[in-house]
Amino acid sequence: MVARPGFARFWPLPLAVVAGVGALTHVTFGQGFPPAAIPAEQPLSALPGVAAAAMQSPPVAGQAPEPRQLVVDVEITGNEGAKDYEIQKHIQTRPDREFDPELVQADVRRIMQTGKYRDVKTFTRQAPSGVIVVFEVFERPRINYIRHLGNRSLGEKKLMTEHGMKVGDPLSSYTSEEGRRKLEELYHREGLPNATVTLLEGDRKEDKGVIFVINEGQLERIAWVTFQGNTIASDSRLKTQIESKPGYFWYLFGGKVDRQKIEADVEKLTIYYRGLGFMQARVGRELDFDESGKWLTLRFIIDEGPRFRVRNITVEGNSKFANRPLLEMMKLRSGEYFNQSYMNRDLTLITELYGSQGHVFADVQADPRFLEEPGQMDIVYRVKEGDVFKVGEINVNIAGEFPHTRQTVVLNRMSLRPGDIIDTREVQSSERRMKASQLFNTDPQQGDPPRVAIRPPEFDALGDRSRPKPTIRGQSPEGPTAMPPPSAGYPPPWPRAQSSPPLPPAGVSPSLRTGTDRFSWEGPRQP
């Protein structure tokens, strides 16, 4: 819709609904090579690549292209500890497929990324019906044994889990040193701050295994936690803000001295006091051990300083709503002590208020200003309203290995339709309904959970229009239609000058721009 003077400015803004459990793996095969271009046996690096192919003269019009080479077999040599199938799962070069040097080089990179091999070489051998691709791997030394000497407080299973090394893994000085560091940090967290871990074996080329020598030192526990200088909050309240506490159930759980955790508790108490208006609060700590050195009295020393009051609260940049209604809705008010949680709540309230009226990209920031008068401050909320947006199109992308869910299943759970003013609260509600439907994956470890993405109009200026359009593949029984027909009970799509482009391939998240005639793709995403 074209903006007119004296009226609100509306933008048709597409929504992208993405749901699924993973992404398809798309393999693109490159230009093949004629049989005469490949000698009987030579390294793959010597083969003519893409750059060499580009330097060749273009084919004559009307002349048939030369036949492409086929991969007859894929061989793996040089592996002693690893089985063939462990390497083959990283190789996408397959027999009876066209030979692609770029794909072979990608296979080499995938094998090297496992960290189990110090080098991988590739060769080809000529065969009557094609070529044989050979992967020669050079393995790193393997870990034959892992031993922990001197551990009394922690068991073998916990130590093995912490450093993550296993028998049969590649042996390197880096992984051994990293495991030593992890074990030392583990002991420090477990109340043994003086524990040291050294490497007896595992950092030399001639070593066959890894041996850790552990000097645990003396176990330290927290006996008491006290606070000094606190007036606004009681000791019980402050204890809820920290993690360093005495143990319980006869010290079967907790109570161990962790110096990193104590320093983190100092920061937490400082943030807590400043959130209550004590902007100049300072917190320190004292460690007082008994004569045995086993029991610690942890004392936090607090200098609260003055508590700041809010003199004035103002809102700048707002034209949609008047100042008075906004100030009346806020929980933080003039004359009261500053409270960080109240200010954060007011920020969220103003942002959601604008989002409910179509200002999808409204930006609200708080600017606390300290005055020369002691203990006084002003709060200024800066608002950038932005334009009002309507729903232009709703595109559904259902990813997965074999997607079969109809797009109407997703659209029925959307409370927004083309032509509606976008309400961010409705967008969040629609997303929650899709997650609660139990039709799509909601575990982030298995893939992207369902989400509703709103593409900003600025993406139109940033998008790359020079990229070629991908091949379109259907992904649902309804085909690539973005919206069901009006007979299904939905209003007609948002008016547009040109027809809508088709949906991207399965497993590709659409990146929609403001216009309806320009699309780009981000994916494919890995599950």
Residue 54, pLDDT > 70, answer no
Proportion of the chain in helix, strand, coil states, percent, rounded to 5: 25, 25, 50
Q: What is the pLDDT of residues 307-320, one digit of tens each?
A: 999 999 999 999 98
Quickly state the pLDDT bin for 444 (edges 50, 70, 90).
Answer: confident
The pLDDT score that the predictor gives to residue 60 is: 55
What values do phi and psi take at 334, rounded to 5?
Answer: -65, 140
448/397 Cα distance (integer angstroms): 12
Q: What is the pLDDT of residues 323-354, one digit of tens each?
A: 898 999 999 999 999 999 999 999 999 999 99
406/478 Cα distance (integer angstroms): 6
451-454 and 10-20 as β-strands: parallel, antiparallel, unpaired? Answer: antiparallel
Q: What is the pTM of this model?
A: 0.56
- Residue with the larger pLDDT of the pair 378 and 251: 378
Quickly state the pLDDT bin for 164 (edges 50, 70, 90).
Answer: very high
Q: Which two tokens stand for residue 57?
A: 């003269």
The pLDDT score that the predictor gives to residue 312 is: 94
Quickly state the pLDDT bin for 17 (edges 50, 70, 90).
Answer: low
Residue 488, pLDDT > 70, answer no
Amino acid at 102: E
Edge-to-edge, what's the strand order for the sheet holding 282-289? 221-228, 295-303, 282-289
On whether the CB atoms of residues 154 and 186 are closer than 8 A, the answer is yes
Q: How many CA atoms lie within 13 A of 233 on its CB side?
A: 21
Quickly state the pLDDT bin for 149 (edges 50, 70, 90).
Answer: very high
- Residue with the larger pLDDT of the pair 509 and 82: 82
Percent of the chain with pLDDT over 90: 42
14/522 Cα distance (integer angstroms): 16
149/158 Cα distance (integer angstroms): 14
Which residues is 41 bridged to in the sheet?
125
Give start and end residues of each alpha helix (H) in 213-258.
235-239
219/101 Cα distance (integer angstroms): 59
Q: What is the pLDDT of residues 449-483, one digit of tens each?
A: 888 888 765 654 444 443 434 333 333 334 333 33
Q: How many CA atoms lie within 13 A of 234 on its CB side?
A: 2
221/246 Cα distance (integer angstroms): 7
The pLDDT score that the predictor gives to residue 24 is: 29
The pLDDT score that the predictor gives to residue 15 is: 62
Quickly state the pLDDT bin for 67 (edges 50, 70, 90).
Answer: low
On whether the CB atoms of residues 336 and 310 are closer than 8 A, the answer is yes
Q: Which two tokens stand for residue 121?
A: 């070489």
Sequence length of the chain is 527
On whether the CB atoms of residues 361 and 385 are closer than 8 A, the answer is no
Q: Which two tokens stand for residue 491?
A: 């209003």
What is the separation, in whole angstroms, between the first and last Cα of the chain?
38
Quickly state the pLDDT bin for 196 (edges 50, 70, 90).
Answer: very high
The pLDDT score that the predictor gives to residue 121 is: 92
510/524 Cα distance (integer angstroms): 10
